[in-house]
Structure 1
């Protein structure tokens, strides 16, 4: 089953994952909650390719989670800002962050 096929699945988790179910999308949302809104900021923060970022931003805008707002006409550039619907994802991201801190702590190499 493809992700796009999950949009009509009875399960709300499956339907949510059809939009948010990959690491790049969640990292974009993380960055939005950290105050980032521009394409170059997302590239720099996440390390994803420009092609992947453009695709994920388009999907998030189409899903009504982000909104594009022009900040430059020449060349045409946009800020990507969370909509009210997007803001509602915040508690889930906080839960993922807290779980990660508890169960996936950063392991640093010890110096000899």
Structure 2
């Protein structure tokens, strides 16, 4: 389950603006684990799943327009246990033409677990 909190959401009539942000909250379940992706005994949030959570937050901050992920550049800083929650904040830091670049940062209940950038393009 992903919960969203949007500040000043962009709409079809309003372009994306620098400073807009979205926070997503996701419960880490076994389906998001590294074990499910073929790493036996590694029952924590998988890096590819964390990248997807960051991309989802970046997509949400782009509003109603259709966007496609162009690049995800993140550092997975710490393991998150099954049952914990991950909070991801995506903030627009650049909007040029059709390209939106978001800073992403995320925490679980104990510490910062991810930082980086996601680039999306309007199609």
Normalising by the residue count of structure 1, what TM-score does the alignment of the two structures yield?
A: 0.26
Larger fraction in helix: 1
The structure that is strand-richer by fraction is 2
- The structure with the largest alpha-carbon Rg is 1
